[in-house]
Amino acid sequence: MEQHNDKRRISHQSSKSIKLSPGDPIRPTVAENAFVQVIMMFRKTFIQDSMLMMELHPSYPIWQHSIFSDPAYLSFKRDMLQIEAQEHDPAHTIPPTMCAYAL
């Protein structure tokens, strides 16, 4: 098994090597920057879908974040759950027999 010493060499896109020691600040890689950009692009979608994800995975630690107990989020969640309940209300659903006639 290969032993790692205190100094590691990391190659970056510029094919420039730097040495990192345990006390050195973390320098983000291209992949890390791209990941953060993707997360930022999907942040609205995540918040919009969070109330449904919360029901599916209630024990996830992320739900302990303060944003999910903020009054604005709780109001949003209540409104979204109400809309979701209406969409699944049989009174708002086309009966399967009617769908067959539409074909």
Task: Identify the bridge partners of residue 9 per DSSP, sorted by sequence position.
Answer: 19
User: What is the per-residue pLDDT across 29-86, written as a single tens digit (0 to 9) for each?
Assistant: 888 888 889 988 998 888 888 988 998 999 999 999 999 999 999 999 999 888 888 8
- Spatial CB neighbours of 17, under 8 Å, sequence gap ≥ 6: 9, 10, 11
Predicted TM-score (pTM) of the model is 0.49
pLDDT at 84: 83
The long-range contacts involving 39-48, CB below 8 angstroms and separated by at least 24 positions, are: 47/73, 47/76, 48/80
